[in-house]
Amino acid sequence: MASKLPAKDLPRLTLARPSESALSLASEIGEGHKGNCPVRSCFVRRSEPGSPTPLAQLMGSGQGQNRGGQGGGVRLKVLLTLLWVCGGKSSSGFHELSRRDRAYSILFDLDRNGVRRIGRALHWLHDNHFVQLVDDAELSSSRKRRSTMIRLLREDGSQTDYHRPNPTTKSEDGVTKPEELYFDLPRSLWTNGWFTILSGPALVILLILLDDANLRRSGIGSGRWISPLDRREKYVFSETMWRKGTAELTAYGLIEIERWGVSWETAYSHNRYLVLRDQFEEDAATVVSEIAAKLEGAPQASCVHRGFELHVAKKH
């Protein structure tokens, strides 16, 4: 039997709650967008050896690094929300919407500098060919200040106008084109408040796990565990990012980690990661409140929960 770590040696996590403003806005957006969010596999994993993934580029500084800083998390949230909100059918041929920096700041529960951070994120996405910021002449002429439209480009950074991925699009040899393979992020990730409270590293790991599970179901993936080598070579993320992201997802109850044996001869075991999709249908604020009730502590409660020393942030 494994020995239990004393509380002072356990990983420490602070769980957040989505604000009422963020939940209200997410619900309003969700009323007009009933579908899930399609994400191309080539956004998450390497298309060829040595090339950075668009996700790793986005989470870094744009120079091939992937330190997973605060700016990377905001950029990721903006892009994924754009894919959800304006990645559906388009009557004009372009997938675009009006720029609303303050709305994104509210949706993500950002601090007082949130609007500025959203602006920086959008300009980074424009400079790195994930979106185009387009001046709307009609709006500009009717208002004193300059207005901008956001036009979505394909999430692989190819500078190609966005179109919804279509797995029926085949290459000459009859195989689905790599840029048409995709997986879905559930709509409830936004509408139930999870998207608001998850950090950049947690969203990164969730994307990787959903992509890997989808490729295994389609018969394209290897069906193996995601080894440390795969994490570096296929997804280009460090062990630090992996540990931080999986710890947060586990604490919220969004994934389960199981130990599985690989072979009878070696009795070598590994971690198997299972995304609990039903948990996204639960209200994030309610789940966190239930965890907080178990903790029963001082002003910022702390207790051992699912193998972590947890702290629950105060309500907004």
Q: Residue 184 belongs to what domain range?
A: 7-312
Residue 211 lies in a domain: yes
**With 60 as the cut, is the pLDDT of residue 6 above it?**
no
pLDDT of 251 above 60: yes
Tell me, yes or no, whether 220 lies in a domain: yes
Q: pTM for the complete prediction?
A: 0.83
Whether 2 maps to a domain, the answer reads: no
231 pLDDT tier (thresholds 50, 70, 90) = confident
Asked if the structure places residue 1 within a domain, the reply is no
pLDDT at 48: 72
Higher pLDDT pick, 12 / 244: 244
User: Residue 310 has what pLDDT?
Assistant: 63
Does residue 139 have a pLDDT over 50?
no
pLDDT at 5 over 60: no
Residue 256 lies in a domain: yes
Total domains in the fold of the chain: 1
Decide if 169 is inside a domain: yes
Q: Mapped to the 3 state alphabet, what secondary structure does the chain carry?
A: CCCCCCHHHCCEEEECCCCHHHHHHHHHHHHCCCCCEEEEHHHHCCCCCCCCCHHHHHHCCCCCCCCCCHHHHHHHHHHHHHHHHHCCCCCCCCCEEECCHHHHHHHCCCCCCHHHHHHHHHHHHHHCCCEEEEECHHHHHHCCCCCEEEEEECCCCCCCECCCCCCCCECCCCCECHHHCEEEECCHHHHCCHHHHCCHHHHHHHHHHHHHHHHHHHCCCCCCCCCHHHHHHCCCCCHHHHHHHHHHHHHCCCEEEEEEECCCCCCCEEEEEEECHHHHHCCHHHHHHHHHHHHCCCCCCEEEECCEEEEECCCC
